[in-house]
A and B are shown apart, each in its own frame.
Chain A
């Protein structure tokens, strides 16, 4: 079997861009929700507001951007071709966007009907997406740690979707299910099994590539994704028996949390050894993200070692902010600032011809604007973390989160508009040359 040998399968530029341009809108919505609810948003992780907030960031922002990036990356980085990329994109983007709105609406309004609508939309669109990507990842002739990490990550996404659909069905159809237990497992697979492994698989490729660092050590890339998968799977099984083996469960959770600590520490060390001396926004975003990952994973370990502490409502909020605002949003922003300019350039190349100078990637989004968004995002992170002891800070924190997402959106719009402008200019130059 020799599938997908034409590497030219990069999808049209509108495929990933629609995901990227949608993601920050959900981030803004999360900020608005924080402003609206104020300190009440921090009261407990089980309130409908907290659940809405979590899903605005985890599904609306993170998953949205991750799906777009994965659809774009697979053909280029993994030689894995997506079946019917255009149709899959339309279906995934529409289903995900509409499904997120219904889900968040369901939480906020406590409306069973909205859950009943969200379940089929999200399950069909995301489930189809995950299966198609998984098939592509198994058919690719490419090998290596990234492919293995991505396969396990997508499997993790399928587990997350299945459990999420189960939970939402329980809300929609009033099913009697052990909701707390399922929620713990759902969140662990979503953040650990899917998001963290996706970041790792991508990092193995892009950390050495963007900064010219040494490659990730083989012991890490060989062990990390497989070990995380088995520890998560083992930990998930400990939730099944009525008599929960609490010692074993905590031990497995601690072992699983040590893996991201190692991954983040190695990444920071590699970046410290980089040969490129240029400090750019993407590098700053990644370094903050890795530092937050270490703190968050250590937080999980501390929480496991001191049972009872999880009753303190501040801990989940702290961990949620660290992971979503501190780790994943920065990694995604940093990646978008590389992916969108590069895609612009790549697609402009197709209009031009050899010898015709196409604007380079630094001309797509001004670096000063990216740095401004980085600062706004750091302010949001610091204020939201500080809001745990000082709840009134949730207001400036929410405002800073909105500002960061507005700035991000605007930067991405600038990139999109520059693509249109440069395309037009290139075509005019070609026409002028042809006429001369």
Chain B
């Protein structure tokens, strides 16, 4: 994993801990801890979407001319995951443990299968198309706050 997307790949794993902490805290009714862990998780996830949508996907699309393909599908899934984050926001505000847990588990499955598609298929395609683009790599790193 030495390609341009390796930073994105590694970032996928980064949010797992905060997700698990938030879920556990909600289950126990510890809403302060849940809010803290969830806030961190949410920020990381949105930063990840942002880098992909604003930096990586446009560069790939303009290099290959593939605008309606896999990147479009990924953008659609980002929308669905943002919806789930909103449901979690609402559940957190209402201290609704069932609602939070249900939306969280849905997001987890959605996120994992989304990551799987990116890691197995899209990222390798991007690496192949973009080669070693130093400027793009530093923009990715900046966007992820790495």
- Selected from A6, A141, A349, A362, the residue in CB contact (under 8 A) with B101 is A362
Contact across chains for A212 and B121 when beta carbons are under 8 A apart = no
With an 8 A cutoff between CB atoms, is B112 at the interface?
A: yes
Q: 1/0 contact trace for B52-83 toward A, CB 8 Å?
A: 00000000000000000110010000011001
The 10 closest A-B pairs by CB, nearest first: A360-B102, A362-B102, A275-B20, A209-B112, A142-B120, A360-B106, A277-B24, A79-B121, A361-B106, A276-B20
Closest chain B residue to A361, Cβ basis: B106
Contact across chains for A142 and B121 when beta carbons are under 8 A apart = yes
Q: Tell me how many residues of B have a C-beta within 8 Å of chain A.
A: 32
With an 8 A cutoff between CB atoms, is A47 at the interface?
A: no
Alpha-carbon gap, A277 to B79, bound state (A): 28
* Chain A interface SS verdict (over half): loop
Least distance between B103 CB and chain A CB atoms (Å)? 5
With an 8 A cutoff between CB atoms, is B19 at the interface?
A: yes
| List of B residues within 8 angstroms of A77 by Cβ | 113, 116
Q: For residues 1 through 52 of chain A, which have their beta carbon under 8 Å from a beta carbon of chain B?
A: 5-8
Q: For residues 6 through 45 of chain B, which have their beta carbon under 8 Å from a beta carbon of chain A?
A: 16-17, 19-20, 23-24, 27
| List of B residues within 8 angstroms of A361 by Cβ | 102, 105-106, 109
Contact across chains for A6 and B70 when beta carbons are under 8 A apart = yes
* Chain B interface SS verdict (over half): helix
Contact across chains for A7 and B117 when beta carbons are under 8 A apart = yes
With an 8 A cutoff between CB atoms, is A143 at the interface?
A: yes
Given contacts A76-B116, A342-B106, A362-B101, 11 further A-B contacts (CB under 8 A): A7-B117, A8-B73, A76-B113, A79-B120, A209-B112, A210-B109, A276-B24, A277-B23, A278-B27, A361-B102, A362-B102
Given the known interface contacts A6-B69, A362-B102, the answer about A212 and B20 at a Cβ–Cβ threshold of 8 Å is yes
Contact across chains for B16 and A212 when beta carbons are under 8 A apart = yes
Q: For residues 199 through 248 of chain A, which have their beta carbon under 8 Å from a beta carbon of chain B?
A: 205, 209-210, 212
Alpha-carbon gap, A357 to B87, bound state (A): 8
What is A's interface to B at a CB cutoff of 8 Å?
5-8, 76-79, 141-144, 205, 209-210, 212, 275-278, 338, 342, 345, 349, 354-355, 357, 360-363
Number of CB contacts from chain A to chain B under 8 A:
83
Contact across chains for B69 and A5 when beta carbons are under 8 A apart = yes
Given the known interface contacts A205-B116, A360-B105, the answer about A277 and B69 at a Cβ–Cβ threshold of 8 Å is no
Given the known interface contacts A354-B83, A360-B87, the answer about A277 and B20 at a Cβ–Cβ threshold of 8 Å is yes
| List of B residues within 8 angstroms of A144 by Cβ | 120
| List of A residues within 8 angstroms of B124 by Cβ | 141, 143
Alpha-carbon gap, A143 to B119, bound state (A): 10
> 28 interchain pairs (CB within 8 A)?
A6-B70, A6-B73, A7-B73, A7-B117, A76-B113, A79-B117, A79-B120, A143-B120, A143-B124, A205-B116, A209-B108, A209-B116, A210-B108, A212-B19, A212-B20, A275-B20, A276-B23, A342-B109, A354-B80, A360-B84, A360-B99, A360-B103, A361-B102, A361-B105, A361-B109, A362-B105, A362-B106, A363-B102
